[in-house]
């Protein structure tokens, strides 16, 4: 059996009989519409970007956003620069998808703790990314070489063990920054034109 007719057969298998065509199209439309709505309301496309505002789509990360946006790191980094691996494309999206799904699950189940701790995998990534930008700190100019202590500092101690306040400050917890200004929490999903029509009818 040749490959093309085989595929044709397979498609044929899923096709409804003539009489069902209209209801099936309607049903498909229904599902597609629902799916698009879900896509829209959860701001799904934003998760592919590096926009820090994506990370406050749910309000849990507000303190992290606020502290970062008042730190010197704001000028050079976004959330993903430090919290997602940057060495290759596949690892980048694999890690991001994993972390994102874990966060989404915890948020949906309302299991978020009052104070968030970074996981071990996340810690390792942050350390990698500290070194990615600050590699000159491991470099001995006189010797024109990476320093001997580099190994120790890279593997046994993490940068943030001492630089604890970089960049999220000293006080942690979901309630840590009640007065934070300029955190781009998500706006209403209802478009303005719809809003104005609704208000006119009132």
> In whole angstroms, what is the distance from residue 171 CA to residue 173 CA?
7
181/200 with CB nearer another protein: 181
Q: List the x/- string, 165-184, binding to another protein by CB under 8 A.
A: -----xxxxxxx-x------
Q: Which is nearer to another protein, 121 or 185 (CB)?
A: 185
- Cβ proximity of 63 and 178 under 8 Å: no
User: In angstroms, what is the minimal distance from the CB of 62 to another protein?
Assistant: 8
51 is written with which tokens? Answer: 């926009």
What's the CA angle centered on 150, arms 125 and 171, to 5 degrees? 50
The two structure tokens encoding residue 139: 């470099």
With CB under 8 A as the contact rule, the residue among 47, 51, 53, 59 that binds another protein is: 59
Across 112-145, b (16+ Cβ under 10 Å) vs e yields: eeeebeeeeeeeebbbebbeeeeeeebeeeeeee
Nearest to 63 by CA among 163, 182, 159, 180: 180
Contact string (CB under 8 A) for another protein, positions 121-160, x = contact: ----------------------------------------
CB of 89 to another protein, least distance (A): 29
| Count of CB atoms situated within 10 Å of the CB of 61 | 20
Site for another protein in 28-47 (CB under 8 A): 30-31, 34-35, 37-38, 41-42
Binding site for another protein (CB under 8 A): 9-10, 12-17, 20, 27, 30-31, 34-35, 37-38, 41-42, 58-59, 107-108, 110, 113-115, 117, 164, 170-176, 178, 185-186, 189
């Amino acid at each position: 059996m040749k490959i093309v007719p085989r595929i044709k057969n397979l498609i044929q298998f899923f096709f409804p009989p003539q009489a069902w065509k209209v209801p099936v199209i309607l049903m498909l439309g229904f599902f597609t519409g629902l799916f698009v709505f879900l896509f829209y309301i959860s701001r799904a496309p934003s998760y592919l970007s590096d926009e820090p505002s994506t990370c406050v789509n749910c309000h849990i990360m507000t303190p992290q956003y606020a502290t970062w946006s008042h730190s010197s790191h704001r000028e050079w980094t976004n959330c993903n620069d430090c919290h997602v691996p940057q060495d290759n494309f596949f690892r980048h999206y694999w890690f991001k998808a994993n972390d994102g799904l874990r966060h989404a699950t915890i948020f949906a189940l309302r299991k978020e703790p009052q104070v968030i701790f970074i996981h071990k995998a996340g810690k390792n990534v942050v350390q990698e990314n500290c070194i990615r930008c600050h590699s000159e700190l491991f470099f001995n100019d006189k010797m024109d070489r990476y320093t001997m202590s580099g190994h120790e500092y890279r593997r046994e101690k993490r940068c943030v063990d001492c630089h604890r306040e970089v960049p999220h400050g000293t006080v942690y917890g979901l309630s840590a920054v009640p007065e934070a200004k300029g955190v781009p929490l998500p706006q209403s999903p209802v478009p303005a034109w719809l809003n104005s029509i609704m208000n006119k009818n009132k």
